[in-house]
Amino acid sequence: MKSSNRSSFVTLFKHSKPVEGVISVPGSKSLTNRALILASVANGQSTLSNVLISDDTEVMINGLRQMGVSISFVEPNKILVNSNGKLSEPKQPIFLGNAGTATRFLTAMSCLVKGEVIIDGDEYMRTRPILPLVNALKSIGIDIQSDTGCPPVTIKSKGVLSSSEVTIDANLSSQYVSALLMLSPFNLKEFKIILKDSNIGGKGYIDLTLNIMKEFGITIETIENGWLIRRQSYKATNYFIEPDSSSATYIWAIEKLTNGKIDIGFEAKKMTQPDAKVYDLINSFPNFPDLIDGSQFQDAIPTLAVMAAFSNKKVLFTGIENLRVKECDRIKAIKEGLCKIHPELAIEIGDQLLVNGEIDIYNIKNLNVLIDSYDDHRIAMSFSLAGILIDGISISNYNCVSKTYPSYWKSLQSLGIQMNFT
């Protein structure tokens, strides 16, 4: 795991009073990416509102444009998607940076293209696994190749799907299932998606996929260990994207940690994304449970882990093994960052993480540490919480937040939180 660029970093200053104010949290990355995909394969014009514009969604937009989809901005966060319901062969490989969601979804949807599609990414994306999805697509007759089990992936398709069933191993990522679900209505036959194992990390994201497919006119039947999908057509629609719950966790945490009050304009209980479920957990601080199973809200684990360091007990995080294959090895990155604050603050136990909140870190003197973000937006934003509570914390490559929350540092400054950029 390579360190991030240390030439740019942000230094936060301890905020000694409650943080209060009103801010806007960007639209959901998960919903934006799904809505872009479905609008692109629906015949007609769809209007998407409160769209997240970030590094991850921009590569998705560019990839779809390469496939012949017309996507235009009518307002900064409102776009029109015009499509004939088909995707065209791109003239060159589709480069998706380190955007895992875009890579998995576009790999599956490339099966609708008559011709060849190459899906590629940056150096780190080329280490992130995609083999379960590749194998699943091979099993339904798609000519698809990944030499390493990671991108680049080459898809050669006739643009026709004619299979009756696929089995998918979703232990590593629920996105494989979501990708197959979004592709499935195009199958000429009645089609079943069967789970190899019923234990799915991030099952809430599959529910998210099913719900948005319904919004675009698709009905799916739940069966034992999977789903039954009949041939249908996506319908163009107008769709509002709710605020991103993973991004909201940092704001909810700041509110709780400082005994403040921050209005983000949208209630947690009305959010449909899995990470919204941690709102109550965040509000239980400092009395976290001894064990937190993060399997269903993995993107919120960095937030909770840093909060746990300021709690009143030891907290063991389980069900987080998939964090090893995110934008960086997040288990390692969290542990390293916490141990820079205090050498005994966190321990890796296999694929689990123990955070020792019994250590009094509020009163650490003369702290002067640079937390390595590893170019990972969630690592950078989660450690900003520590920088608000204690002096002496800097975070490398602060611009990596552009992946999902480009205005994050400005949002904090608007709430009165002080920081310097170098």
Residues 214 and 307 reside in one and the same domain:
no
Count of residues making up the chain = 422
In angstroms, the CA 76 to CA 206 distance is: 29
For the chain, percent of residues with pLDDT exceeding 90: 92
- The answer as to whether 359 is a domain residue is yes
Does residue 164 sit in the same domain as residue 252? Answer: no
Work out the average pLDDT over 266-291.
97
pLDDT digits (tens, 9 = 90+) for 341-398: 999 999 999 999 999 999 999 989 899 999 999 999 999 999 999 999 999 999 999 9
Give first-to-last CA distance, the chain, whole Å: 24
pLDDT at 5 over 70: no
Mean pLDDT value across residues 139-158: 96
Banded pLDDT at 3 (limits 50, 70, 90): low
Residue 247 sits in the same domain as residue 208: no
User: What pLDDT, on the 0 to 100 scale, is given for residue 173?
Assistant: 82
Domain closes at, from 197, 215, 240:
240
Residues 186 and 252 in one domain: no
| Containing structural domain, residue 414 | 9-26+243-421
Lowest-confidence region among 185-199, 205-219, 231-245, 306-320: 185-199
> Is it the case that residue 6 has pLDDT exceeding 60?
no
**Spatial contact of 211 and 241, defined as CB atoms under 8 Å apart:** no
200 band by pLDDT with thresholds 50, 70 and 90: confident
| pLDDT of res. 202 | 75
For residue 188, what pLDDT is reported? 94
Residues of the chain with pLDDT > 70, as a percent, come to 98
Same domain, 315 and 233: no
The answer to whether residue 179 sits within a structural domain is: yes
Domain C-terminal end among 240, 274, 302? 240
| Residue 2 forms part of a structural domain | no
Residue 4 placed within a domain: no
- Domain final residue pick, 198, 222, 240: 240
Residues 223 and 345 in one domain: no
**Which tens digits make up the pLDDT trace of 130-146?**
999 999 999 999 999 99
For residue range 43-65, what is the model confidence (pLDDT) as tens digits? Answer: 999 999 999 999 999 999 999 99
The answer to whether residues 119 and 218 belong to one domain is yes
**Tokens 């480069």, residue located:** 95
Residues in CB range of 356: below 8 A, 6 or more apart = 309, 314, 344, 345, 346, 347
Q: What is the pTM of this model?
A: 0.92
Is residue 3 situated within a structural domain? no
pLDDT band at residue 7, thresholds of 50, 70 and 90?
Answer: low
Q: Lowest mean pLDDT: which of 2-6, 50-54, 101-105?
A: 2-6
Residue 20 forms part of a structural domain: yes
Residues 235 and 279 in one domain: no
* Active-site amino acid positions: 299
pLDDT reported for residue 385 = 98
pLDDT (mean) for 239-262: 98
Indicate if 252 and 302 belong to the same structural domain: yes
Let me know: does 238 contact 269? Beta carbons within 8 Å. Answer: no
Residues 336 and 373 in one domain: yes
In terms of domains, do 205 and 309 share one?
Answer: no
Same domain, 183 and 261: no
- CATH at residue 309: 3.65.10.10
pLDDT, mean over the chain: 95
18-48 burial, b at 16+ Cβ within 10 Å, e below that, comes to ebebebebbbbbbbbbbbbbbbbbbeeebbb
How many structural domains are present in the chain? 2
